[in-house]
Structure formats: structure tokens, C-alpha cells
């Protein structure tokens, strides 16, 4: 193994990296970020912005770190006067036609042009006597605007569409300083993954219409999460502003989504902010639902569970966390029950240039988790079984209409008309409001984190269900303090999760043993 490692130094810091590594990536390992624009680890190397020029000992000319492979004994110096002056020169040239309209630019605060100019740029311009190049804003597609005046022609967007999306609708049009990003005259930037060009754009040239003028970058809080749009399980960052999710962006995970997410997932966040939420536990008294505290609600629900002698049915959402699905199952230990989940289907949309990455037809982030825990896909049968069941538990299926002769316990974020016959309603947090895990279609368990508080008295489903288990009495009940505790309990109990711990999952997840099936 060590034979394949190349030893070099970056600004005097020794690093050992695999053969074939680019200097710019080796530098990251030494804690050095070489300023760059056109380079992106998810795209083919273009080597054209010339920003990452560094000095390499014994080489006559400066080299671009993004296209130079490491070599044994190489000494890379990023801070020599020559290298710094070359980069300062590039920055000056990038700015001569740049409008410097940061105050009204969405990218401000997360702009690589701002950052590197601040770091290495000249204090003033020498390009004073001339008008700047001007081109009008262009509407590229359903969610993408092109502001050519801010463009630095790094071609990340062009390369993404050509080499990753494999739908080459963008190009560099014209030459010299007249160049701009062009779009095919008969095409729109409407590929299902086109929104990635906005993330890839290092400046404010490609903008999301959805996010346009919605928030300043420095007002945003960022939370690691997992996309709930389909069963792929792309890693995302939820950007919140004052506890409202305002943007979803991809979070790199080389095993799942590399650096990208699809537009469906990108736009799939408004439900996280919906206002018509259940904010307190409700219990049926004199034929009406009344707000109450958690103690009474749990007691009432436990009493229903104890009292209902016949068959129980659980209708669960594939958006529920693995922990909640596990604890819901535990409620029925020792009795006859069936559980099922419903999967909404849509069109599959692959990202051609990345193997095994697509917007999946199954729009369910945790269908695999539900299956591993013994829930059935035969939702219709379960809905039918519910009619004659003694007890029905619904876990966050707001679209469901439940008809049952028995008692209904509704655990959910919002209360649908069809569930108003419930005896007990327990309000829970949605995926943006809790910690938890999902299992994607490839059996990878991935954590998502709480991005904003749940409304009112709503609590994470793992907490609600664990309290319910405690109220039920018996040996299984245990007060749980975190999703981590809930997961670790699940991992100890369910063979498919054996050996995993919440901590070891980290933020990129780990695979389950998908061969192991747990009987329902």
C-alpha cells in the first residue's frame, strides 16, 4: 500500500497521497486551499482559469495545481512572490469586466471571486478609463438565470452539461473578451439535474430563480441532511433562515451522489415549512379532540394499545425515520399485527455521467428501512385490514383516509381530514426538525440532522414512540434521550443493523447487511 503513495511537500508540509493525485487535491490534505475557479473535483479538468498557479521547485515555469500530478519528492510552494503575483494578476483581470454588484448579488458571502480577491487581490483596479462589458440577463431554464456580466467563464456549467448530464446545451460562444456562456438556440436548460450548474458556478452568474433575492448567504444556517425526494438518498445541506428552510444544496458523498442533486430534490423542501401543523397532543373527549399534555396523551394511547384485543395495523410513511419505524414496531411485540408503507411513484431521471445516480421512480427516502424492519409494500391490503382491526396506528401519512372499526392512534406532523376520527393524536417533528436515519435503496444507512425546531409541543417520532413504550409498561420501555440512543437500540435488536452505531455512521453513512431480513 505504501508503495503506491507519493511523498511530497506543500508549503513545507509533508503529505503522502496516492499516485495520480492532482497537486490541488494533495494541497487540501496539507490544509492548503489553492485558489481556483475552473477546477471542480466532480468535473473533467479544464485548466483554463489559471488561478491555481503555484511554484514547483526545479520547474522553470509556474504550474497549475489542478492539472499537475504529484511526483515523488515534489516541493510545491503556493506563497512565493511569483505565484502570488500571478494569481493577483488573474484576479485583477477577472475583475476588470466584473460589475462588482455584490450588494445585490445572491452569491455574495459565498462567492469564490469575493473570497479570493479578499485574500490575494489588488486593493484597487488599474482599469479605470473604460466601460465594462455588458450583456443582458438571460433566462436559461425553469430555475436558472444567467447573468453574463458576472461570468468569469470558468466553464464548470458547460462541462457539467456536457460530461456529467450528457446533454450539451451550453457552450462558450464568441471569442476573446466578447465570450459568454451560450445556450443552444432551440434548447432550454431543463435537464432534471440542471440546477447543479447554480451550485457549480463559483460566482453569481448562474442563479436559482427559486432562491433569487430570498436570503443573504451569511444569514443562512447550514445543516447536514439527506434528501427526502426519492430512494437514492442524496446527501444534502438544508439552508435555513430564521428557522425556515430556504434552499437545499448537495452535500458531497462520493458513494451516493458525488457533488450533485436533482432538481426534484432541490425543490422538495416547501413541505418542511408548512404552517398547518399539529402543535399539541390531542385526545378524544366527549366526541371531540382536545389539546392536552404529553403525559395524558401517552397514557391514553397506551391504554388503547393495552385494551384493543384483536389485530393491530400500522400504516407508516416511508419518510419516517428508521428509529421511529423500529419503535412503532416494538409497540406491537407479542400481538398479531401487520404494517405497511405506501410509495409514491414518479419518473426515473438518471444523471448519465455518474454511475448509479438517478432521481428514482420510488419517491420514498426510507422505503428500504421500512422493508428491513418488516413493513410490507402492500399498502392497499393493510388499509383493507385496518377496517376490521382492533387498533390502527398511523405514522405520519397525511394523505391517508383511515376507516376502521377499532381505535385509531394518529402520530403525525399534520392532521388530515381522513384521520379526524382518531382517539389520540400525537404531534411529531418533520425530517427537518429531528435527527434520524434513512436507509437508501442500496442499503446505506445515513444520518440527517435537525435544521430547525419543531412547532409547539411536537417532538421527534422516536421520542414520542419511546415514551409510548414506557407508558405501555413492561421491560421494553426506556426513556430515550436522543436519536442516537434510539438507533443504537435498533442496531442491537435488528440483525440487518448489527455492528452499526449512530456515531460510526458519521455524516456519509454506512451499509447495512441487506441479506438479513427480519420477519414481521
Partner 1 sequence: MGYPHKPHPRETAILSKHFGEADARSYKGWVKRGGYEVLPTALAMEPGKIIDIVKESGLRGRGGAGFPTGLKWSFMPKERKKPHYLCVNADESEPGTFKDREIMRWTPHALLEGTAIAAHAIQAEVTYIYIRGEFTEPYATMEKALAEASAAGVFGKIKIHLHRGAGAYICGEETALMNSIEGKRGNPRIKPPFPAAAGLFGMPTTINNVETLAAVPHILKEGAAWYKGLSLASPKSTGTKLFSVCGHVTQPGNYEVTMGFPLKELLYDLCGGMRPGRTLKACIPGGSSVPILNRDETEGCLLDYEGVIEKGSMLGSGGVIVFDDSADMVYQIMRLARFYAHESCAQCTQCREGTAWTTKILERILAGQGKMADLDLLLDLSENMTGKTICVLSDSCAAPVVSGIKKFRSEFEDYIAGKRRPVMVA
Residues of this chain that interact with partner 1 (CB under 8 A) are 45-51, 53, 61-62, 64, 67, 85-86, 89-90, 93-94, 96-97, 126-127, 129-130, 152-153, 155, 171-172, 174-179
* Residue whose grid cell is 478609463: 129
Dihedral of CA 33/39/41/46: which sign? negative
Nearer to partner 1, 51 or 147 (CB): 51
Q: Shortest Cβ distance from residue 178 to partner 1 (Å)?
A: 8
Question: Least distance from C-beta 160 to partner 1, angstroms?
Answer: 17
- Least distance CB 6 / partner 1 (angstroms): 17
Q: Is 414 helix (H, G, I), strand (E, B) or coil?
A: coil
Closest CA to 23 of 79, 64, 83, 82: 64
Q: Which is nearer to partner 1, 97 or 240 (CB)?
A: 97
- Per the document, the length of the chain is 520
Name beta bridge partners: 284: 289
Name which of 133 and 441 has its Cβ closer to partner 1.
133
CB of 64 to partner 1, least distance (A): 8
**Whose Cβ is closer to partner 1: residue 129's or residue 417's?**
129
Smallest separation, CB 37 to partner 1 (Å): 8
- In the chain, what is the straight-line distance between the N-terminal and C-terminal CA atoms, in Å? 45
What are 14's three cell numbers? 509533508
Alpha helices in 320-416 (DSSP H): 322-330, 367-372, 379-388
Least Cβ distance, residue 41 to partner 1 (angstroms): 17
Judged by CB, which is closer to partner 1: 116, or 332?
116
Q: Which of 514, 470, 508, 507 is nearest to 489 (CA)?
A: 470
Q: Which is nearer to partner 1, 10 or 63 (CB)?
A: 63
Instruction: Give min distance, CB of 324 to partner 1, in A.
Output: 52
Residue 160 contacts residue 200 (beta carbons within 8 Å): yes
CB of 172 to partner 1, least distance (A): 6
Least Å from the CB of residue 120 to partner 1: 14
Instruction: Give the closest residue to 227 by CA, choosing from 446, 497, 414.
Output: 446
Answer yes or no: are the C-beta atoms of 208 and 144 closer than 8 Å: yes
Question: What is the DSSP annotation of 285-313?
Answer: ETTEEEE--HHHHHHHHHHHHHH--S-EE
- Backbone φ, ψ for residue 403 (5° rounding): -110, 120
Q: Which is nearer to partner 1, 27 or 64 (by Cβ)?
A: 64
Residue closer to partner 1, measured from CB, 22 or 227: 22
The distance of closest approach from Cβ of residue 106 to partner 1 in the complex, given in angstroms and rounded to an integer, is: 23
**Closer to partner 1 at the Cβ: 120 or 190?**
120
Q: Which is nearer to partner 1, 21 or 400 (CB)?
A: 21
- Burial code (b: 16+ CB inside 10 Å, e: under 16) for 120-148 equals bbeeeeeeeeeeebeeeeeebbebbbbbb
Distance (Å, whole) CA 282 – CA 456: 13
CA distances from 326 to 105, 212, 399 (A): 46, 40, 22
Nearer to partner 1, 177 or 221 (CB): 177
304 vs 423: CA distance, rounded Å? 8
Q: Would strands 206-208 and 510-511 be described as parallel, antiparallel, or unpaired?
A: unpaired
Measured from the CB of residue 18, what is the shortest distance to partner 1 in angstroms?
19
Give the burial class of 333: count Cβ atoms within 10 A of its Cβ; 0-12 exposed, 13-18 middle, 19 or more buried.
exposed
Amino acid at each position: 500500500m505504501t508503495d503506491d503513495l507519493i511523498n511530497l511537500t506543500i508549503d513545507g508540509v509533508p503529505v503522502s497521497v496516492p499516485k495520480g493525485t492532482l497537486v490541488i487535491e494533495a494541497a487540501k490534505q496539507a490544509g492548503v486551499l489553492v485558489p481556483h475557479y475552473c477546477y471542480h473535483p466532480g468535473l473533467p479538468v479544464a485548466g483554463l482559469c489559471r488561478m491555481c498557479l503555484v511554484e514547483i521547485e526545479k520547474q522553470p515555469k509556474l504550474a497549475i495545481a489542478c492539472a499537475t500530478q504529484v511526483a515523488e519528492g515534489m516541493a510545491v510552494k503556493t506563497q512565493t512572490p511569483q505565484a502570488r503575483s500571478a494569481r493577483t494578476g488573474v484576479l485583477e483581470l477577472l475583475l476588470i469586466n466584473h460589475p462588482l454588484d455584490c450588494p445585490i448579488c445572491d452569491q455574495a458571502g459565498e462567492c469564490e471571486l469575493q473570497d479570493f480577491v479578499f485574500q490575494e487581490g489588488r486593493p484597487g483596479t488599474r482599469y479605470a478609463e473604460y466601460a465594462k462589458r455588458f450583456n443582458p440577463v438571460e433566462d436559461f431554464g425553469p430555475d436558472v438565470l444567467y447573468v453574463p456580466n458576472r461570468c468569469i467563464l470558468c466553464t464548470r456549467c458547460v462541462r457539467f452539461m456536457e460530461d456529467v448530464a450528457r446533454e450539451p446545451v451550453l457552450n462558450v460562444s464568441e471569442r476573446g473578451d466578447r465570450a459568454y456562456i451560450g445556450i443552444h438556440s432551440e434548447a432550454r436548460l431543463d435537464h432534471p439535474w440542471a440546477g447543479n450548474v447554480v451550485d457549480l458556478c463559483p460566482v453569481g452568474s448562474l442563479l436559482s430563480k427559486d432562491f433569487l433575492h430570498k436570503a443573504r448567504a451569511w444569514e443562512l444556517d447550514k445543516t447536514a441532511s439527506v434528501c427526502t425526494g426519492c430512494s437514492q438518498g442524496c446527501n444534502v445541506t438544508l439552508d435555513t433562515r430564521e428557522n425556515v428552510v430556504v434552499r437545499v444544496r448537495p452535500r458531497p458523498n462520493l458513494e451516493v451522489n458525488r457533488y450533485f442533486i436533482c432538481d426534484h430534490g432541490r425543490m422538495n423542501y416547501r413541505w418542511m415549512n408548512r404552517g398547518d401543523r399539529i402543535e399539541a397532543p390531542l385526545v378524544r373527549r366527549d366526541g371531540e379532540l382536545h389539546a392536552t399534555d404529553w403525559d395524558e396523551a401517552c397514557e391514553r394511547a397506551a391504554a388503547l394499545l393495552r385494551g384493543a384485543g384483536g389485530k393491530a395495523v400500522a400504516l407508516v410513511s416511508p419518510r419516517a425515520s428508521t428509529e421511529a419505524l423500529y419503535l412503532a414496531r416494538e409497540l406491537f411485540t407479542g400481538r398479531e399485527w401487520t404494517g405497511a408503507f405506501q410509495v409514491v411513484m414518479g419518473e426515473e431521471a438518471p444523471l448519465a455521467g455518474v454511475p448509479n445516480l438517478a432521481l428514482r421512480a420510488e419517491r420514498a427516502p426510507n422505503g428500504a428501512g421500512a422493508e428491513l424492519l418488516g413493513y410490507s409494500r402492500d399498502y392497499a391490503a393493510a388499509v383493507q385490514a385496518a377496517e376490521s382491526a382492533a387498533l390502527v396506528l398511523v405514522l405520519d401519512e397525511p394523505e391517508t383516509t383511515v376507516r376502521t372499526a377499532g381505535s385509531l392512534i394518529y402520530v403525525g406532523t399534520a392532521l388530515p381530514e381522513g384521520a379526524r376520527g382518531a382517539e389520540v393524536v400525537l404531534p411529531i417533528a418533520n425530517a427537518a426538525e429531528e435527527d434520524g436515519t434513512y436507509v437508501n435503496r442500496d442499503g446505506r444507512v445515513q444520518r440527517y440532522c435537525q435544521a430547525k425546531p419543531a412547532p409547539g409541543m411536537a417532538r421527534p417520532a422516536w421520542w414520542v414512540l419511546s415514551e409510548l413504550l414506557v407508558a405501555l409498561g413492561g421491560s421494553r420501555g426506556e426513556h430515550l434521550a436522543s436519536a442516537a440512543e434510539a438507533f443504537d437500540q435498533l442496531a442491537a435488536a435488528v440483525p440487518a443493523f448489527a455492528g452499526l452505531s449512530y456515531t460510526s455512521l458519521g455524516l456519509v453513512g454506512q451499509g447495512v447487511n441487506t441479506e438479513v431480513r427480519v420477519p414481521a
